[in-house]
Structure 1
Amino acid sequence: SSSVTIVSKCHIYPSRSSAVTALKLSVSDLTMLSVHYIQKGVLLPPSPLPSADLVSLLKNSLSETLSHFPPLAGRLRTEDSGHVKIVCTGEGIEFYHARATLVSAAALLQSRHRDVPPEFRRFFQFDHTVSYAGHGRPLLAVQVTELNGGVFIGCTANHAVVDGTSFWNFFNTFAEIAARGGSQKITKSPAFCRDTPFDSPIALQVPEGGPSPNFSIGEPLREKIFHFTREAILKLKLRANNPTRFQEITDPENPTAEISSFQSLCANVWRAVTRARNLNPSRTTTFRMAANCRHRLRPPLPPLYFGNAIQSIPIAANVGELLSNDLRWSADKLRRRVADHDDASVRRGVEEWQRNPIMFSLGNFDGSEVIMGSSPRFPMYDNDFGWGRPLAVRSGGANKLDGKMSAFPGREGNGAVDVEVVLTPAAMAALENDSEFMQYVS
């Protein structure tokens, strides 16, 4: 059996009160009210501590971490004006201690060439909880699961409160405090400013009963992680930047503009998934990526600005054109679109939202979209709780739909990337048999 047993559940409160009392949700936060809480976690080596001491250390460290991140211990509140705030009430978060003694960490890790084992989804709380539910539910839940040969720490956090940058800063701080035995000092303090271009006087109209996601939960999907070494990605980058063909698409304003490693990898995934879906060549396919806007604004936001500071960048292409041209064509499309997403573009996005305030519609309505989330730049493997770096990073079932991709750094660092791919069973089987794609996978 692979059963996960909950041993205990409790609430954890910040170790001390905070000067931060409330944060108004920004435009970037509000758009995320309709998506699931983020579910990401780390598989760690076995802890040298006895179980009771381990749980005690993690609870105390979490309490201390919450005093540095007081919004996560609060709740959402909609004012009479219609504005939504995070109120730092100190009501706390949920903490679960679980055991899965029959689940082997080594067996979970041997799944590199297999689909992601479904056990990982059981290491998280608040399955398929929409972020709007944070009006009544905690904004964070942490589950610590003791496995045979490892420990999994899974965090489920409200996506209207944190984006990936803020989520991993919280996670890193939790690990740092635990590794120092509950120390009060932290190296990367979040910035709780709200006077930014994402601040808006416009109130969002929420449907009665709150929003719901626009994709069906329960449709048959496969989920797999494809590992790309630094060498494989450099080969893709070289291929994408090869100037011998398609000279005419070189950017006349910036003829030396280089396509990045990640853009090359994304273009490769986009083309391969589109091939695997066997779409009609006359159709349009869209690749969506989340852009961190902190450094794009002028003046820039603090790198550790707490909250969401992301915008979705869609790049559309005709299916026939995407597949008949080489990698450089699609990679250059991505490069240009990302390069264009500057301060003015970010502000235009906010103005457009103010004219038509809506929540993010996460869905793949015609089966032709590829949605790339997360980032290989996030310091996921820096979560050493005092007994060793993570063996793996995995996610729960949140926001999983056909075409949803998440990019993680590879464990070996050095520019390697793991891409978590969710597709229909037919498309995944075609992707696995696509030698043009698989030649770069190890």
Structure 2
Amino acid sequence: MAVKIVESHTVSPSSGEHTLLPLLYFDLIWLDFVLTESFYVYPLKCSESRFLETIVVNLIHSLSLTLKHFLPLSSKIIFPLSSAAMPVSRYTNGDSVSLTIATSDDDFSYVASNRPKAADGLHHLVPQMPAAVYSSDVIKFSALAIQLTLFPNQGICIGFTHHHSICDAITFSAFVHTWASINKSNVIKYLPFYGRDSVQDSGKLTIAQWNQMKANRPTVSPTLPLPSDKVRATFHLTDSQIDKLKSWVAIKKPSIGRPSSFVVACAYLWSCLAKSEVDNDDDDETQYLCSPVNCRGRLDPPLPENYFGNCSIQLIAALSHGTLKGNDGFVAAAEAVADAVKIAVKSTRVSEFYENRSEIFSKLSGKRVVWVAGSSKIDHCGADYGWGRAVKYECVHTDFNGAVHLCKGRQGGIDMGFSMPKPNMFSFTSIFNKYLFINSNL
């Protein structure tokens, strides 16, 4: 994919005072995680002159207005090299977000499609993070970079690279929707809540997590090679298909009750992946599915949904490979995921999980794990800058860690996007479509 950089800008908040925001245990675990890369795709017949002279100008102005409410995204994350200090997000007047303006002459419909496409070709649509600043006592690195790419007379792509330690998908989606709303109609629909004082067990868990993390340098720029051996595709479950999957579980396993959309989507994905594996004949091998669970409303006391930052724990479901790939693999997977959700949502689980997190994940090392990212409740395509809803959302950093990204589909249902080697993708596609057809006859 050919992308030409035509302009570079830095955008500062329209106003803001010096601000320090502590990173808590929910945030610290992401310091050495790969940078989060995603983009939104909008059809729009637009010339390059109109793009540069009108659309970009408006987007810069609305971004500046939005950032004053989301100061940590334009701040510097401070990683101390002294054991006496703790990581913080620090905003100082003049801090800014890097904004890259680009054009591409590639086929826009190809980028916007769900069909398999070369994974490495999509990373040109997200920006490089500015270089970190090193000194004797700290490392300072940016939280966010943005890229606007015009496909002349076809559409616009808005790409983001952000550091996961500053916020999770719920917070970041709120920022994107707020920017879109201000750009479209100068309406602010969301204001973040920055309170840290009442976060459950934050004192002891933050110190304990920092003691485990401080020897690991933070991830400040991409260091991994592009995934030249993978193709990326998006698979969609419609609302009707999800309802039929729920009914199938309720019939086959009444004790579960009627499962959630998230449970059946994860279960169907997990069982199809197991069925499509061609290099595994060990039916006794335990396989796992892990997914973040938002726990804002489940803490004691609960946090509001507009809490800015990270606030999740991992659910972990386990089943044997033989069970997953069997005729009732989907139902068994639904039961395992539903049980894992029940455990994860208990308020007592937060402290228990973070106190034992290192041990929990060490047991998963070397195992077959389906890592789920995102949330089936987040409507990424709903961010409307004045050109209508996005037709496509991609979370491309999952190319590096093999995760599957879930989000709400553009017209309902659930989208599942991921990458894998081409032969594996074709095998999975066949299984995914085959069993949807079988279940459609319920």
TM bucket, shorter chain:
0.7 to 0.9
The 3-state SS of whatever aligns with 2:68 is helix
Instruction: Give deviations 1:213-236, integer Å, cap 9, x for gaps.
Output: 9x9745633321112211111111
Q: Select the residue among 92, 95, 100 that pairs with 1:96.
A: 100
Partner of 2:422: 425
Shift of 1:54: 1.0
What amino acid maps onto 2:161 in structure 1? Answer: T
The 3-state SS of whatever aligns with 2:296 is coil
Partner of 2:249: 240
The 3-state SS of whatever aligns with 1:265 is helix
Instruction: Give deviations 1:226-247, integer Å, cap 9, x for gaps.
Output: 122111111111112214xx56
Partner of 1:145: 149
Partner of 1:284: 286
What amino acid maps onto 1:233 in structure 2? Answer: I
Relative to structure 2, which stretch is displaced further, 63-72 or 194-203?
A: 194-203
Could you tell me which runs of 5 or more consecutive residues in structure 2 were left unpaired when the two chains were aligned: none
Instruction: Provide the rounded CA distance (Å) in 1 between the counterparts of 2:118 and 2:224.
Output: 20
Instruction: Provide the rounded CA distance (Å) in 1 between the counterparts of 2:417 and 2:31.
Output: 24
Partner of 1:296: 298
What amino acid maps onto 2:173 in structure 1? Answer: W
CA contact (8 A) 1:166 1:307 kept: yes
> Aligned pair in 2 of structure 1 residues 27, 241: CA closer, same or farther (>3 Å)?
same
Instruction: Provide the rounded CA distance (Å) in 1 between the counterparts of 2:110 and 2:329.
Output: 39
> Aligned pair in 2 of structure 1 residues 145, 440: CA closer, same or farther (>3 Å)?
farther
> Aligned pair in 2 of structure 1 residues 350, 112: CA closer, same or farther (>3 Å)?
closer
Instruction: Provide the rounded CA distance (Å) in 1 between the counterparts of 2:355 and 2:428.
Output: 39
CA contact (8 A) 2:119 2:419 kept: no
Instruction: Give deviations 1:45-94, integer Å, cap 9, x for gaps.
Output: 22665431111111111111110001111111135424111111241110
Shift of 1:198: 5.6
Instruction: Provide the rounded CA distance (Å) in 2 between the counterparts of 1:9 and 1:211.
Output: 23
Shift of 1:347: 2.6
The 3-state SS of whatever aligns with 1:68 is coil
Scaled by the length of structure 2, the TM-score of the pair is 0.85
Shift of 1:208: 6.1
Q: Select the residue among 353, 356, 364 that pairs with 1:352.
A: 356
Partner of 2:324: 322
The 3-state SS of whatever aligns with 2:141 is coil
Instruction: Give deviations 1:279-331, integer Å, cap 9, x for gaps.
Output: 21121111011101112223321101000001121112111133334422210
Partner of 2:111: 108
What amino acid maps onto 2:151 in structure 1? Answer: L
> Aligned pair in 2 of structure 1 residues 29, 65: CA closer, same or farther (>3 Å)?
same
> Aligned pair in 2 of structure 1 residues 357, 283: CA closer, same or farther (>3 Å)?
closer
> Aligned pair in 2 of structure 1 residues 208, 40: CA closer, same or farther (>3 Å)?
closer
Partner of 2:13: 14
CA contact (8 A) 1:22 1:86 kept: yes
> Aligned pair in 2 of structure 1 residues 47, 58: CA closer, same or farther (>3 Å)?
farther
Instruction: Provide the rounded CA distance (Å) in 1 between the counterparts of 2:226 and 2:110.
Output: 26
What amino acid maps onto 2:102 in structure 1? Answer: A
Partner of 2:78: 77
Instruction: Provide the rounded CA distance (Å) in 1 between the counterparts of 2:285 and 2:438.
Output: 27
Partner of 1:207: 215
Partner of 1:275: 275
> Aligned pair in 2 of structure 1 residues 344, 129: CA closer, same or farther (>3 Å)?
farther
CA contact (8 A) 1:364 1:401 kept: no
Relative to structure 2, which stretch is displaced further, 51-60 or 160-169?
A: 51-60
Could you tell me which runs of 5 or more consecutive residues in structure 1 were left unpaired when the two chains were aligned: 252-256
Partner of 2:126: 124
Q: How many corresponding residue pairs?
A: 417
> Would you say 1:159 and 2:164 are equivalent positions?
yes
Structure whose residues are more often helix by fraction: 2
Over the aligned positions, Cα root-mean-square deviation in angstroms equals 3.1
Shift of 1:129: 9.5
Instruction: Provide the rounded CA distance (Å) in 2 between the counterparts of 1:145 and 1:122.
Output: 9
Instruction: Provide the rounded CA distance (Å) in 2 between the counterparts of 1:179 and 1:218.
Output: 35
Instruction: Provide the rounded CA distance (Å) in 2 between the counterparts of 1:224 and 1:128.
Output: 29
Instruction: Provide the rounded CA distance (Å) in 1 between the counterparts of 2:250 and 2:130.
Output: 41
Instruction: Give deviations 1:153-175, integer Å, cap 9, x for gaps.
Output: 11111100010001101101111
What amino acid maps onto 1:120 in structure 2? Answer: L
Percent of matched pairs sharing the same residue: 24
Shift of 1:116: 5.8
Q: Select the residue among 171, 174, 179 that pairs with 1:169.
A: 174
CA contact (8 A) 1:431 1:437 kept: no
The 3-state SS of whatever aligns with 1:146 is strand
Instruction: Provide the rounded CA distance (Å) in 2 between the counterparts of 1:127 and 1:285.
Output: 35
CA contact (8 A) 1:263 1:334 kept: yes
> Aligned pair in 2 of structure 1 residues 163, 425: CA closer, same or farther (>3 Å)?
same
Shift of 1:99: 0.7
What amino acid maps onto 2:34 in structure 1? Answer: H
Partner of 1:38: 36
What amino acid maps onto 1:154 in structure 2? Answer: G
What amino acid maps onto 1:37 in structure 2? Answer: L
What amino acid maps onto 2:109 in structure 1? Answer: A
Instruction: Give deviations 1:10-62, integer Å, cap 9, x for gaps.
Output: 211111123x6111111110001111222122111226654311111111111
> Would you say 1:61 and 2:62 are equivalent positions?
yes
Relative to structure 2, which stretch is displaced further, 311-320 or 42-51?
A: 42-51
Partner of 1:254: none
Instruction: Provide the rounded CA distance (Å) in 1 between the counterparts of 2:30 and 2:131.
Output: 12
Instruction: Provide the rounded CA distance (Å) in 2 between the counterparts of 1:72 and 1:155.
Output: 12
What amino acid maps onto 1:321 in structure 2? Answer: T
Scaled by the length of structure 1, the TM-score of the pair is 0.85
Instruction: Provide the rounded CA distance (Å) in 1 between the counterparts of 2:381 and 2:30.
Output: 26
CA contact (8 A) 1:369 1:403 kept: no
Instruction: Provide the rounded CA distance (Å) in 2 between the counterparts of 1:171 and 1:349.
Output: 30
Instruction: Give deviations 1:253-286, integer Å, cap 9, x for gaps.
Output: xxxx321122112111101111222421121111
Instruction: Give deviations 1:387-421, integer Å, cap 9, x for gaps.
Output: 2211211233x2424641001211112xx111102
Instruction: Provide the rounded CA distance (Å) in 1 between the counterparts of 2:423 and 2:300.
Output: 45
Partner of 1:187: 189
> Would you say 1:86 and 2:89 are equivalent positions?
yes
Instruction: Provide the rounded CA distance (Å) in 2 between the counterparts of 1:11 and 1:268.
Output: 44
The 3-state SS of whatever aligns with 1:192 is coil
